[in-house]
Amino acid sequence: MAEECDGGGALAGLRGFVRAAVVSAASDWDRAGMLPEGILAELGRRGWLASFLEPAEGGVGLDMVAYGRLHEELGCGCSSLRCAVTAHDMVAVAVRRWGEVGQRQRWLSRLARGEVVGAFALSESGAGSDVSAMRTVARREGDRFVLDGKKRWVTNGLRAGVFLVFARTAEGAGAFLVPRDTPGLTLSPMEPLLGTRAVGISEVTFEGCRLAPEALVGGVRAGLRFVLPAALALGRYAIACGCLGMARACLDAAIEHAGRPSASGVSLSSHQLVCRMIARMVAGVRAAGLLCRACGASLEAGAPGSVPEAALAKYFASGVAREVTADAVQIFGGEGCLQGNIVERFFRDAKVMEIIEGANEVLELVIARHGIHEYLAMAGGEGRD
Ligand SMILES: Cc1cc2nc3c(=O)[nH]c(=O)nc-3n(C[C@H](O)[C@H](O)[C@H](O)COP(=O)(O)OP(=O)(O)OC[C@H]3O[C@@H](n4cnc5c(N)ncnc54)[C@H](O)[C@@H]3O)c2cc1C
């Protein structure tokens, strides 16, 4: 399924790279709690960072369906790596969509090459789902902004060279590009995670960080209204495709395991109840794949419903990933509980996907509102005929 689109050749070698360089190492990265130095730069060299950017911007011009495939394949190998790319790309898409010419020139090609790692800093303690509770502030001082506050859960935080930071201003919520070497910015690692352990997660504290006017992306009221939705639509789609990848990997592993004859010569797949699990896994993976492709096409077309479509794809695919990874652990039995087994790692990673980039309950609200809106628009149209 995933072979059908190679982004005009830009994804050539992707599957082989993931098999050779990612699958074999992902358990070690998970244990170490950190991706290896240079892995993002390696992806950048291959054109797989901010890959939706046009060649003139430093990217390889992947369309959104091919972009989904990239995330699916990375997701098959290592959720931490896929999450790191997603967070990085969310910064790039925000700069591309809402940045001024000077910001685009300064950051985009460096992000695409992996010379600088991007991190997306929105969540705070007590302000995750409820972004209106955000306490980080940027107050004007002459033509500058002074940033104070603390962000938590910043993927790539420990390696990032630039942070896209959301903060309150007197006029509204803004988004600011904050280089790592800004005086007053400090990083502290967080406790080890349940899943996606290698994403280099950190807290980031800003104490009197003085920012040049060109740090502001998209205007002083644009942070939550425009910059955030653009980044979240891409991020949720990428997570959906990553979830599809991890579900696919677990399905393959479970089928392979279930087909092996036991000491008595009977394979697990000869049991009907095991077959039922496999049937559900196949159905889930197939359905998530269709939703991801539809979402990619909708994003590519710039369709008005593509933002809720991305919420739907993330919601559905993360649920499938949770169920499929859990069933895979079940089919592996005790082996599936051992650290180092791919299904054990993906089982932990999948749970995280239901929480990040909009907890699934929050996405249910988005999906329901959009569904109701569509229904009413259709019913109104029918009424007028
Ligand atoms: C591994 C990892 C990586 C992350 N990376 C980043 C990152 O790079 N950048 C960043 O900014 N953040 C990041 N986050 C933070 C993540 O986005 C938040 O954890 C998430 O938005 C949930 O916020 P919260 O943890 O504050 O939980 P809360 O907002 O307290 O929600 C807890 C639970 O309450 C329920 N809930 C909350 N609101 C509602 C509602 N309105 N209706 C119904 N139920 C609701 C949901 O079940 C939810 O799971 C990351 C988190 C993790 C675990």
Q: How far is the CA of 104 from the centre of ligand 1 (A)?
A: 29
Paired with 210 in beta bridges are: 146
Q: Residue 190 corresponds to which tokens in the numbers above?
A: 């967080």
Q: From 83, 117, 151, give the residue that closes a domain.
A: 117
pLDDT digit string, tens, across residues 240-254: 999 999 999 999 999
Q: What is the DSSP string of 96-111?
A: HHH--HHHHHHHHHHH
In a domain, 372, yes or no: yes
Assess whether 111 and 126 both reside in one domain: no
Strands 137-141 and 144-154: antiparallel
Domain identity same for 69 and 100: yes
Section 258-267 average pLDDT: 92
Segment 200-229 mean pLDDT = 97
- Point out the domain boundary residue: 117, 145, 178: 117
Give φ, ψ of 144 to 5 degrees: -105, 170
178 phi/psi in degrees, rounded to 5: -115, 110
Could you tell me the two tokens for 128?
A: 């995750």
Q: Are 62 and 88 found together in one domain?
A: yes
pLDDT at 100 over 90: yes
pLDDT for residue 4: 52
CA distance 46 to 12: 10
Same domain, 290 and 247: yes
Q: Which residues pair with 206 in a beta bridge?
A: 149, 185
Tell whether 384 is covered by a domain.
no
Distance separating alpha carbons of residues 128 and 43, to the nearest angstrom: 29
Residues 18 and 105 in one domain: yes
Beta strands in the chain (DSSP E): 118-121, 137-141, 144-154, 162-168, 173-179, 185-189, 202-211, 216-217
Q: What is the pLDDT of residues 112-168, one digit of tens each?
A: 999 999 999 999 999 999 999 999 999 999 999 999 999 999 999 999 999 999 999
Beta carbons of 140 and 170 less than 8 angstroms apart: yes
Q: Are residues 143 and 277 in the same domain?
A: no
| Residue type for position 141 | E
233 and 365 both lie in a single domain: yes
Q: Which residues contact ligand 1 via a Cβ below 6 A?
A: 87, 120-123, 128-130, 153-155, 193, 196, 201, 352, 355-357, 359, 361-362
| Same domain (yes/no): 228, 214 | no
Domain carrying residue 264: 224-379
Atom of ligand 1 nearest to the CA of 166: 11
**Are residues 238 and 216 both part of a single domain?**
no
Question: Is residue 108 a contact partner of residue 53, using CB atoms and an 8 Å limit?
Answer: yes
CATH of the domain at 304: 1.20.140.10
In a domain, 94, yes or no: yes
| Contact present, 190 and 181 (Cβ < 8 Å) | no
252 within domain boundaries: yes
pLDDT at 1: 41
Alpha-carbon gap, residue 138 to 144, rounded angstroms: 9
CA distance 323 to 169: 42
Looking at the DSSP bridge assignments, the partners of residue 186 are 205
CATH number for the domain including 180?
2.40.110.10
Flag whether 84 is in a domain: yes
Q: Is 263 helix (H, G, I), strand (E, B) or coil?
A: coil
Residue 345: how many CA atoms within 13 Å on its side-chain side? 26
Q: ∠ CA(203), CA(205), CA(208), 5° rounding?
A: 170
Nearest CA residue ID for atom 12, ligand 1 = 123
Instruction: Output the pLDDT for position 380.
Output: 83
385 within a domain of the structure (yes/no): no
- Given ligand 1 and candidates 85, 122, 153, 206, which is best to mutate, with the most ligand atoms within 8 Å of its CB? 153
Q: What is the CATH number of the domain that holds 62?
A: 1.10.540.10
Give the CA distances from residue 252 to residues 124, 282, 285, 352, in Å, rounded to whole numbers and listed in that order. Answer: 38, 10, 11, 21
Do 91 and 231 contact (CB within 8 A), yes or no?
yes
- Residue 55 shares a structural domain with residue 202: no
CA of residue 147 to ligand 1 center, whole Å = 23
pLDDT in tens, 351-383: 999 999 999 999 999 999 999 998 998 888 765
CA–centroid distance, residue 131 to ligand 1 (Å): 10
Domain boundary among 203, 221, 239: 221
Residue 189 lies in a domain: yes
Same domain for 337 and 269: yes
State percent of the chain over pLDDT 70. 98
Residue 308 lies in a domain: yes
Number of folded domains in the chain? 3
Instruction: Let me know if 57 is a catalytic residue.
Output: no
Choice among 357, 361, 364, 382 that is catalytic: 357
> Which atom of ligand 1 is found nearest the CA of 130?
29
Pair (375, 288) in one structural domain: yes
